Chains A and B, each alone.
Chain A
């Protein structure tokens, strides 16, 4: 009796989780595909047409991809610099570290609203510059006509908010690099930049890759921060999905946009796994 139980025990333990995930992720995927491609009992591309021909679709796609393309690489470099800086011990390190982590605990809406206090027409930056005499009237960053400014502002605020995600992963990876590896390089003649190039960054590659993958995928579904700062001035895919579902009640189109985000995420994940392999981690004795 005891033997039988222990043979099936692991499966029993894992089953609930697997079934749950199948329901809550597998089912919506299938349902989503149905919503998009099935209309009135048959395969139809009508929803797809509606979705693609929507006035906001192409801007949303462009904006989403644009934001990802600009934000993620910039974040990576910033996070790397920060992680290298924070790896040393110095006065004020704890303060800096605590402040850096806070955005990770904020919702993107909160982050957007916080920055609004800095960037709004009556916000801190404007008032500061006004009272210093550097400008004569508030700089307008918000409004449909300031498309470029709004875009740049989004990049800036999103950098503030989500660079930490990469930073934390890279820092953890950095701290796991045995100090002796660095000392050995030092002893054998390598200066700071040489050590960085040849020892630190190669050993950091796994962390960097993980962080990059994570952030890119999350970046595709960027939503709250855009919505709360600029609304639909800068359409993004997730925002359009939200709009279609809650305001227009066109579930098909909403599902299409959601699926598009999912597919882009999966594709990115697959490409990453292909491209980023470290041979030295895969060999065995």
Chain B
């Protein structure tokens, strides 16, 4: 009798914990989404806990009058550029670390690991002066370059571990059959590494999409979404804040819903 009830109590406690977690994580998302589309009247009405009337006005205002849509496009451009740049630089480096043994390899690896935990965006502050000289200030390319620097160590490490995972023998087999090392890489290794590379790309994308500090410091008129929202929200009425949150969060949530299983293992291992 005692053991059975203990068992049941433990189970109850466990599921209560899970329930609390789900509510704690999910409720703010739900509420902010509802409020984002709720009318301002319903928001300020103290008796309407959940808005009854909905509107797209706020969102439209944010996107088309206040520059949200521009900023969104800017964010996408910057993120894609960041992926391209960090991959062009990082992929070869990762490949070299995985396939070759050469003096200095361990130092480089260690360096990448150290940089991985370095708060690179903070470097945007001294970067401003350089950017002014190079006319990179207030350009999307400028932000993309900074973001690439932030994600490069991670890309190098991830690609290194991905390529370590794909067997060198497969490449060598290709070379035996007449391909050069480069061709072998393109036609054999790359397709095999694609899933992992896709994960690294997504990781870079999300990092760049959400980055606030460097984006805010390095631009004033060509702002990315987070940078724009940072300044807008200082003066915007409440209900704009929720619409802003929704616009920023929506792509992220869709992304998680699709790639969830993959994300956890990738993140856990990548961040190690």
Contacts and interface: CB of A to CB of B under 8 A. Distances in A.
Contact of B245 (A24, A90, A113, A238): A113
B58 to A, nearest CB: 13
Contacts of B260: 94, 97-98, 101
A138 B124 CA distance: 40
Contact of A211 (B46, B105, B121, B271): B271
A246 B25 contact: no
A21 interface: yes
Interface residues of B, number: 93
Nearest to A170: B268
Interface in A87-120: 90, 92, 94-110, 113-118, 120
Contact of A14 (B29, B93, B146): B93
Interface of A: 9-14, 16-18, 20-21, 24-25, 27-29, 31-32, 35, 82, 85, 90, 92, 94-110, 113-118, 120, 122-124, 127-128, 130-131, 138, 160, 165, 168-169, 171-173, 175, 206-207, 210-211, 213-214, 217-218, 220-221, 223-224, 227-228, 231, 238, 241-242, 245-246, 251, 254-255, 257-258, 261-262, 265-266, 269
Given A14-B92, A124-B49, A258-B123, 19 more contacts: A12-B92, A16-B89, A17-B90, A17-B152, A24-B127, A25-B118, A25-B120, A35-B126, A99-B22, A113-B244, A114-B245, A118-B28, A131-B49, A172-B265, A175-B268, A220-B119, A246-B217, A246-B220, A255-B125
A113 B242 contact: yes
Contacts of B105: 10
A104 B253 CA distance: 10
A9 B123 contact: no
Nearest to A260: B122
Contacts of A117: 28, 31-32, 35-36, 241-242, 245
Please list the 3 inter-chain residue pairs (A to B) with the smallest Cβ-Cβ separation, ordered nearest first.
Answer: A172-B268, A107-B210, A32-B126
Contact of A171 (B14, B153, B264): B264
Contacts, number: 286
A73 B22 CA distance: 22
A90 B119 contact: no
Contacts of A172: 264-265, 267-269, 272
Nearest to A127: B49
Contact of A241 (B25, B92, B115, B125): B125
A92 B15 CA distance: 9
Q: Is the interface of A mostly helix, strand, loop or mixed?
A: helix
B21 interface: yes
Contacts of A123: 31
A241 B119 CA distance: 14
A114 B29 contact: yes
A220 to B, nearest CB: 7
Interface in B208-223: 209-213, 216-217, 220
A258 B17 contact: no
Contact of B216 (A211, A246, A269): A246
Interface string B65-82: 000000000000000000
Given A102-B256, A114-B249, A92 B216 contact: no
